[in-house]
Structure 1
């Protein structure tokens, strides 16, 4: 059976979807690729660049091309109406993150997927990063010992987005990954400080603190996480760095490196004097020869699931998308109020 997929929205990330799906097309994973944008000139331009069909009306794609699936990479306010309408037409959808503008819309999308028996994936693509999958397994096996804390930096230099700030655009990734690393546990509290950009109501730099329940990650005190996200990284430029500190070993992951990551060994929470002064603990490289870009892995999994090739649980289900939206709302509320926001109902 022929498999047709459409990309709705041709901004920066929509173009990445097109580029990746075009490459998967050469593998024979799909039979027809369609690009859709309300700007006809832009749709034509992308269609010519990637050798695919084009259209300007997302809600006419099913009738015109009999699409099986679609990825939605439009501005966030359009996610809910487009996703719901397409699923009502019998189309499987992958919606870029954040899933929706708020928790209510996100829940409506999940309900529409259930009511119409359609596949719903959400674009939390770093769950598909090979290093994150390996890190999750190492933590689950206890190789790091109890997790003491997690820290990350997701920095770049760019103009603020007009629809969402840096917490919803970048912070959502790192908050979600912390939940993933700790066995899909949610934090008990979220605290954030944000700096405003020139766009009214839009932040372009934030520091987010998550506090996970006691016992999480084998830590009787719970795991604290400190996440910095910024569009004003004028000194370092683009940084995608994650550090997971365990009692016996720690991981240093650079998301821009798809070939592997570093493990620093320090059994029993050994300190620097035990290996020579103030240097970092001795490290070993974990090679991941089969690692591929996260977006490629994510879209490949979406197509396989839509075709029915796999019945494995989705890494980025609708429930994950709803949790991501809730985390963003909590961080924004904390930044606005200057106080911590209670998140999980789990005992602490």
Structure 2
């Protein structure tokens, strides 16, 4: 892959992109407004450096990674896409569904490739679980839930759902194959008067599939757990601990009108380990001349719509 990529933003997550792209041989440019930080990065990664976006655009690259603060995603993304430039925008795509939809429309008009950094869609365990669901091993999909819990990092400018849940929303849509058609949500504020620390969202999908997302940054231990329940079996995966995909060969059968619990030995489903960020970037680069299907602009827009809906529901519930 000889495509040349420019990373916009040299902060913590931008540096992860920079490091990974450099290791892949695809890093060609860095945009960072802080001159000192830019010089430090260029000393470590000898590529083209810019303090101004316009200079990077004029130089010309095959694709751009937008890893700046979320409030800049819309104006910077719009500027790039309007010129037909390929962009991977970190999550959340924008801070409003209206702006996200506009970026999708611009990309369609200019034929630019637009992708959103829903990193966990490239996690090998998530991909494997999707394969197991689609294979029919767990039977009819009933219910999925996701917990993303930790002590911190507490944000002052966004609530815990906007901070933690974009990953979970994208995973649910990926597993189920559609977006939620009904949402209910509640939240609680403890540390700050205007920022929610704990939220619970209930989501309903077509085909009587249901899900919930529980997120909190006020929790005694770290947990990033997914549970998938089907008619013939169940799956759990905790990305914060052993990282095993566990298949529970358990179900409820009906015998003479009575529910009977059926349990057989559980198993560990193996999967090939790899780094999600490297897989995400490989996918973006590979699809610079193709249609982006995973984590595309439309899916990013759907995630922002859910974020907005939950925000409105928990605010209404005050």
Which TM-score applies when normalising by structure 1? 0.82
Deviations 1:173-220 (A, max 9, x none): 11221111112x22221122222364553323211111223x2xxxxx
Q: 1:258 to 1:305 in 2, by over 3 A?
A: farther
**Is the CA contact 1:97–1:122 (under 8 Å) kept in the aligned structure 2?**
yes
Give 1:89 shift: 3.1
Structure 1 equivalent of residue 31 of structure 2: 36
Quote the Cα distance in structure 2 between the aligned partners of 1:159 and 1:259.
22
Structure 2 equivalent of residue 254 of structure 1: 238
Deviations 1:297-337 (A, max 9, x none): 1111001111x3xx465211111011011000011111111
Structure 2 equivalent of residue 19 of structure 1: 19
RMSD of equivalent CA atoms: 2.5
Where is the strand percentage greater, Structure 1 or Structure 2? 2
Quote the Cα distance in structure 1 between the aligned partners of 2:82 and 2:261.
63
Give the counterpart of 2:115 among 114, 121, 132.
121
Q: 1:105 to 1:175 in 2, by over 3 A?
A: same
Structure 1 equivalent of residue 80 of structure 2: 86
Structure 2 equivalent of residue 327 of structure 1: 306
Structure 2 equivalent of residue 224 of structure 1: 210
**Is the CA contact 2:31–2:49 (under 8 Å) kept in the aligned structure 1?**
yes
Give the counterpart of 1:206 among 199, 203, 227.
199
Deviations 1:94-146 (A, max 9, x none): 00111111011001111111121110001111111222222222222221112
**Is the CA contact 1:76–1:163 (under 8 Å) kept in the aligned structure 2?**
no
1:315 aligns with 2:297: no
Alignment length (residue pairs): 314
**Is the CA contact 2:158–2:195 (under 8 Å) kept in the aligned structure 1?**
yes
Give 1:274 shift: 5.2
Q: 1:231 to 1:267 in 2, by over 3 A?
A: closer
**Is the CA contact 1:5–1:33 (under 8 Å) kept in the aligned structure 2?**
yes
Q: Unaligned stretches of 5+ in structure 2?
A: none
1:53 aligns with 2:32: no
